Amino acid sequence: MLTTRISKIKFGILSPDEIRKMSVTTIVSTEVYDNDGMPIDGGVMDRRMGAIEPGETCPVCGNTRENCPGHFGHLELAKPVFHVAFTKYILMYLKATCSNCGRIKIPESEREEFLKLLRDLEDLKLTHLKRRLHEYIRRKAASTTTCPHCGAPSLDIKLEKPHSFYVKTETGLRKLTPSEVRKHLEKIPDDDVRLLGGDPRDARPEWMVLTVLPVPPKQVRPSVTLETGIRSEDDLTHKLVDIIRVNNRLKEHLESGAPEAIIEEEWELLQYHITTYFDNEVSGIPVARHRSGKVLKGLAQRLKGKEGRFRGDLRGKRVDFSSRTVISPDPNLSINEVGVPEEVAKILTIPERVTPWNIDLLRRLVLNGPDKWPGANYIIRPDGRKISLKYVDRKATAESLEPGFIVERHLLDGDIVLFNRQPSLHRISVMAHVVRVLPYKTFRLNLLVCPPYNADFDGDEMNLHVPQSEEARAEARLLMLVEKHILTPRYGGPIIGGLQDYVSGAYLLTVKSTILTKDKVVKLLASTGYKGPLPEPAILKPREYWTGKQLVSLFLPKDFNYRRVSKIGSASVLRCIDEDCPHDSIVIIRNGILLEGVIDKNSIGREEPENIVHWLIKEYGEDVGRLFMDKVYKMFITMCEMHGFTMSYDHLTVSEDAKKVIYSIIENKKEEVSELLKLYRERRLVARPGKTLEETLEDEIIDTLSKKLLDEVADVLTQYFALTNPVVIMARTGARGNPVNLTQMTGLLGQQTVRGKRLTRGYMGRMLPHFKPGDLGAEARGFIAKGFVDGLGPLELFFHTAAGREGLIDTAVRTSQSGYMQRRLINALQDLKVHYDGSVRTTSEEIVQLLYGEDGVDPAKSDHGKSVNIDRIIEKYVHG
Amino acid sequence: MIALEEQELKSVEDILEKIKPYVTAQIYIELSKKLREAVKKCNLKTEDVEKIAWEVVKRYHSAFIEPGEAVGTVTAQSLGEPSTQMTLRVFHYAGVREYNVTLGLPRLIEIVDAKKKPETPIMEIYLVDEIKQDLEKVKEVARRIECVYVENVTQELSIDYSSGVVVLKLDPEMLSDKDVTVEDVVDVLSKLEIGSIEVSSENPHEILINISEEYLDPFKMEKLKNMILQAYIKGIKGIKKTIIQRRGDEYVIVAEGSNLEEVMHVPGVDWRRVYTNDIHEIRRVLGIEAARAAIIKEIKNTLDDQGLDVDLRHIMLLADMMTWTGHIRQVGRMGIAGEKPSVLAKATFETTVQKLVESAVTGEEDSLAGVTENIIIGQLPPVGTGIVKVYMKLPLLESSEKGEE
């Protein structure tokens, strides 16, 4: 397909001639419609300015409303008027040039030099320097007081925003009329305009003072007919009518020779209307309002801001062939699949060209029609005619199908689609999935792809887009498929991985104490779809038993090696020093056999670089990685289901003995605090350097009550919790929660803080009226000595919510801040790309990096940042 | 046996020499070290060594980034996405309760914004080998660095409005701590020329100032008080506080406030290792390359502190983009985004109307080379697979089409 490409866009100012030339009519009348409701010729809704009504043909281009692009009209202004947006630049021109001869106030010889320099800079494309030169010339010319060309003294011109120019005379300030200003600007020679940064061909300075106003086509300002039959016009149309009214009045006054003052007044009013037409947020003048009091939208308001033309319509476009619905989980899908409801599949279509190889299938689809899946909605004949299959004899149409036709068929299993969840913070927020049409009304996805989308199922919705061209589909399949993004460019490791039950299940399956009967082994393997012989049982007598490690080994490539400390090994009590360790916390896989170690978050978790999936993908490819995820991870949850995994109140209670130990620790700490308070009251407390006594006291108390205390209690609790306790399993394996959560449930919540300080605000000298003013004790300032299992008292609950609220506010503030930062980062960096020589350059081909990242390596293809993992290569040969 | 091993190592050397042109210096060094170890420990055969070496080359080359890759966007996303997980709070500096240091998202935004002064400037002052382990000497250097104002050694300041006498009670402890004598204070105060100064006869730590006529205006009293308290005694301006920390086998001075140039000149300070978190100051004193390194280091530290994993290449690209012009440019309207050559790209970001008007007046052209511009006009942006072009002459195509007919 050959398409014309726009190669560049030139910006400039419309000249009066140009405005008249592109206009199809001059607008003279304030009347818009006649009595029959037909637009009046010469009014703002003149028929020649574009066909927008259904069935209307444009008298200018002969098109109907689908194809008529709209045509400009124009309005001859009775007197020239400033264009608000340009006043800043008008002032610059007025100041830099002589009001007498119109030439730039720079001596001839220097002027020549600057011109030459400017041309050189232009040839060298040094735009930055050019801009600085213009700036220099402007300042130099403006500061010269007598014209070097005609010797006239220069006038002191002031701009009073938004659009009043004054000249300083002996008698005071004299206002300059737009006509005067325009005359001055007309006198500036082309070369001088160039010196001041202008463009004499496309942006003559005098064009900044309007003599003719272009009237935009009707397409830009469509009128809406309400059900009551009343026409409601666009803001711009209203504004244009105002302008015409004042303009006509001004014209009449001029013709009848009205007094100067009246003309002045009308002229000023015309200026006001034109100003607010362009920009209704100009400071210094009242905003133009609708009769109802609603603020009118000027042209500038249409472009500006998030919902403006640029950010709202041009950069963010609406698309067809997309859909959105609630998501729900389905562990039976592959990670690269998406379950699409049949109802959605019947609406989203793919254009497929009829060939001898697919004609039978497509005939069947056409026969099914739009209402029965799998069917088709439209066919497009070679002559370009599109036929809806809803209202035709489908049998005949199916018969008439021939190679060359295009059938817009329903979405089928195996089609490729793009799947997205907002906020789209990184590229893995949009990935390609393979369609699986399923019953019910939600999109279904594998749980393992939740992390990259940051999705959960509490009502989240996601979007689905169907690529329509062959190129788009090919790129989606080759570049965007889920398995291509398991390794993220953010840190060169897997971002997709197991969490929660996957991790618990992996632990339960591979822990030493798990031995499985044949029955269970078969059940587990069946869930993965494994076909092949069972391994030799690990225990033969009295019955045959298999270990979970054996099952995992079945799915590992035969020459795969891996060694890493488990997550459970991060706790000191379970740490392993070497291979011969009872805790089983070093995972060792040699030649594809899981020799020892329990699999947990460190080996299969998400955002865990250098885990099993990472090496599988790096060394055996994405498909091996994906299949491992599909099968083995499935086995992990099956294990979780078989074993039964739950937590209850009982799992969090500890013996009375343990309670006593904890109480004594807490009592000790409280004792310490009262000791500190006593020291403080007796002024014996030593202030820390740079702190007052009060601050020191607070610091000491927080140190005593927060971290240290919780750690101590946690140490006690670990002795009472066994690794068979599901809560402990979750915390230790990294499935959910952490040891601190555990202590807070069973032990105590500890000191509640807001902004790192104890709770103080509330009543004078106390937080709640239940305390004595000035009470600095632990309980009065938000210390909670109870855990969630014990239950909180009313005051304690209040303290807890106060601290909890801080976190909520924090999140709310953070999202907006980081969102803005990311928008700026994207905007600053988006045009950088790697060129064929490996360098990173900007759009103007300026080199930012000679070799990307100093070694030319793609972070996504790196090994957690390293360009090559030499250890693993050597290891392969040493052991192999 | 030993001879054999030597021979082995020699052949390793030869192999390494062969692959040297194909890998980076870093990989080469690591590979040679690890290969030698492996040969010694595991008796690797020469052919295996060769295989390993070439596999390293192959792996390195297959990890190359593809031409057209939109590395800028990837960088922005890789930094932006984790920043949503950051905390806003200000944390304490490396276990020292005395200091607060801006961390997390606010610090990241500060760096990216290229703020003229960091909210919490901090210096790390390392000392020369001779004194770095001697606590007393380190303290001495710290005293020389720390900026002392009259305020810092004052216990109380009272003004007797009727007699026009200001009584300044000095804190003897602070005096000795900061190594300042009463005479020093008197000297400094006399330079202010606000009246006659004498040390109280009753208390050697009390200074009496008889305010001269012109300052006796009650409205000026507040100003006068500030003048006295803010009088500079000694030290390096900008350094508010110092703390001595033990790091490994040496003492390090951590200073609140920053003045890189002057601190580097203080005798006893190891100027090679002095560090500040003020990026602009680093640029002024050490140049743009150092500023780039500082940006990288600061961003990396901020992210590491929050436990966020981001590839260094992204941070380097951002730092390069901020510094390659020779000046530090902020990420945003006033910096990188504002200096883009494209009108449409600038108009899309912020201040839409101003940018359009400016480009109209100057008759600017947009060559539509960037991403945004092409999105706007509905064309394929020239990044990624969009950089691929087919160089086929049009007439050729037409004739082939005709041939088919």
B287 Cα distance to chain centroid: 13
Stated as kind and residue range, the H or E segment containing B296 is helix B288-305
Percentage of chain B beyond pLDDT 90 is 20
- The highest-confidence range among A128-137, A561-570, B287-296, B385-394, by mean pLDDT, is B287-296
Across A821-837, average pLDDT:
92
**Taking 80 as the threshold, does the pLDDT of residue A580 lie above it?**
no
Topology at the third CATH level for domain A649-795: Topoisomerase I; Chain A, domain 4 (1.10.132)
CA A755, CA A751: separation in Å to the nearest integer?
12
Position A845 scores a pLDDT of 87
Position B95 scores a pLDDT of 46
Distance from CA of B185 to the nearest CA of A (A): 21
**Nearest residue of B to residue A862, measured between CA atoms:** B63
Residue found by looking up tokens 């009128």 in the block = A223
Percentage of chain A beyond pLDDT 70 is 98
Contact (CB<8Å) A859/B112: no
CB-closest option in B69, B362, B370 to A843: B370
Position B93 scores a pLDDT of 45
3-class secondary structure, B384 = helix
Contact (CB<8Å) A877/B48: yes
**Taking 60 as the threshold, does the pLDDT of residue A427 lie above it?**
yes
Contact (CB<8Å) A128/B339: yes
- Best B101, B357, B392, B397 member to test A by mutation, with max A CBs in 10 Å, is B357
Please state the pTM of the whole predicted model. Answer: 0.88
Here the tokens at position A729 are 């399993």
**Taking 70 as the threshold, does the pLDDT of residue B404 lie above it?**
no
Tell me the per-residue pLDDT of A190-249, one tens digit each, with 9 for 90 and over.
988 988 888 889 989 999 999 999 999 999 998 888 888 788 888 899 899 989 999 999
Answer whether A657's CB lies under 8 Å from A674's CB: no
Tell me the per-residue pLDDT of B222-256, one tens digit each, with 9 for 90 and over.
777 787 888 888 888 888 888 888 888 888 888 88
Residue found by looking up tokens 């937080």 in the block = A767
- List, as one string, the DSSP characters of A590-655: ETTEEEE----HHHHBTT-TTSHHHHHHHHH-HHHHHHHHHHHHHHHHHHHHHH-----GGGG---
CB-closest option in B42, B309, B365 to A491: B309
- List, as one string, the DSSP characters of A169-237: ETTEEEEEPHHHHHHHHHTS-HHHHHHTT-BTTTB-GGGGEEEEEEE--GGGS--EE-TTS-EE--HHH
Contact (CB<8Å) A11/B89: no
Per the prediction, chain A carries an average pLDDT of 88
Distance from CA of B351 to the nearest CA of A (A): 8
Topology at the third CATH level for domain A501-643: Enzyme I; Chain A, domain 2 (1.10.274)
Across A503-530, average pLDDT:
90
Would strands A322-329 and A443-445 be described as parallel, antiparallel, or unpaired?
Answer: parallel
One fold for both A501-643 and A649-795? no
* Of B286 and A605, more confident: B286
From 1.10.760.10, 3.40.50.300, 2.40.40.20, 1.20.120.420, which CATH number describes the A322-494 domain?
2.40.40.20
Position B132 scores a pLDDT of 82
Position A585 scores a pLDDT of 82
**Taking 50 as the threshold, does the pLDDT of residue B314 lie above it?**
yes
Window from A340-349, B173-182, B230-239, B320-329 with minimum mean pLDDT: B173-182
Q: Please list every residue in chain A whose beta carbon sits closer than 8 Å to the beta carbon of residue B362.
A: 197-199, 203
Across A136-142, average pLDDT:
90
Window from A333-347, A572-586, B8-22, B122-136 with minimum mean pLDDT: A572-586
- Best A86, A299, A855 member to test B by mutation, with max B CBs in 10 Å, is A855
- Best B65, B256, B295, B391 member to test A by mutation, with max A CBs in 10 Å, is B65
**Taking 70 as the threshold, does the pLDDT of residue B400 lie above it?**
no
Distance from CA of A657 to the nearest CA of B (A): 35
CA B22, CA B55: separation in Å to the nearest integer?
11
Instruction: Count chain A–chain B contacts defined by CB atoms under 8 A.
Output: 331
Tell me the per-residue pLDDT of A659-687, one tens digit each, with 9 for 90 and over.
888 888 888 888 888 888 888 888 887 77
Q: What is the DSSP letter of A406?
A: E
Answer whether B172's CB lies under 8 Å from B179's CB: no
Instruction: Classify A129 in phi/psi space as left (phi over 0), alpha (psi -120 to 50) or beta.
Output: alpha
Q: Please list every residue in chain A whose beta carbon sits closer than 8 Å to the beta carbon of residue B377.
A: 6, 9
CB-closest option in B23, B71, B361 to A86: B361
Answer whether A633's CB lies under 8 Å from A624's CB: no
Contact (CB<8Å) A491/B75: no
pLDDT band, very low/low/confident/very high, at A868 (cuts 50, 70, 90): confident
Distance in Å from the first CA to the final CA of chain A: 53
Q: Please list every residue in chain A whose beta carbon sits closer than 8 Å to the beta carbon of residue B69.
A: 833-834, 852, 858
* Of B108 and B13, more confident: B108
Position A638 scores a pLDDT of 92
CA B23, CA A430: separation in Å to the nearest integer?
35
Position B87 scores a pLDDT of 67
Contact (CB<8Å) B73/A493: no
Would strands A337-341 and A443-445 be described as parallel, antiparallel, or unpaired?
Answer: antiparallel
The alpha carbons of chain B give a radius of gyration, in whole angstroms, of 32
Tell me the per-residue pLDDT of B256-271, one tens digit each, with 9 for 90 and over.
888 898 899 888 889 9
**Nearest residue of B to residue A831, measured between CA atoms:** B370
Contact (CB<8Å) B317/A835: no
Is residue B380 packed enough to be buried (19+ CB in 10 Å), middle (13-18) or exposed (0-12)? middle
**Taking 60 as the threshold, does the pLDDT of residue B92 lie above it?**
no
- Best B77, B92, B397 member to test A by mutation, with max A CBs in 10 Å, is B77
**Nearest residue of B to residue A89, measured between CA atoms:** B361
Cis peptide bond upstream of A451, omega within 30: no
Position B94 scores a pLDDT of 44
pLDDT band, very low/low/confident/very high, at B88 (cuts 50, 70, 90): low
Position B89 scores a pLDDT of 55
- List, as one string, the DSSP characters of A344-369: HHTTSEEEEE--TTTHHHHHHHHHHT
Here the tokens at position A382 are 């070679």
Domain boundaries, chain A: 84-211, 322-494, 501-643, 649-795, 833-879
Here the tokens at position A669 are 């700490």
* Of A707 and A644, more confident: A644
Contact (CB<8Å) B44/A878: yes
**Nearest residue of A to residue B68, measured between CA atoms:** A834
Across B292-303, average pLDDT:
93
Distance from CA of B135 to the nearest CA of A (A): 17
Position A841 scores a pLDDT of 93
Distance from CA of B163 to the nearest CA of A (A): 32
Structure ipTM:
0.88
Position A122 scores a pLDDT of 86
Across A592-609, average pLDDT:
86
Tell me the per-residue pLDDT of A79-102, one tens digit each, with 9 for 90 and over.
999 999 999 999 999 888 888 888
**Nearest residue of A to residue B372, measured between CA atoms:** A315
**Taking 90 as the threshold, does the pLDDT of residue A434 lie above it?**
yes
**Taking 80 as the threshold, does the pLDDT of residue B4 lie above it?**
no
Distance in Å from the first CA to the final CA of chain B: 79
Q: Please list every residue in chain A whose beta carbon sits closer than 8 Å to the beta carbon of residue B375.
A: 314-315, 317
pLDDT band, very low/low/confident/very high, at B394 (cuts 50, 70, 90): low
Across B94-117, average pLDDT:
78
Q: Please list every residue in chain A whose beta carbon sits closer than 8 Å to the beta carbon of residue B89.
A: 755-756, 810
Contacts of B208 (CB under 8 A, 6+ apart): B165, B166, B167, B168, B197, B198, B199, B200
Residue whose C-alpha is closest to residue A82's, from A69, A94, A65, A70: A94
3-class secondary structure, A256 = helix
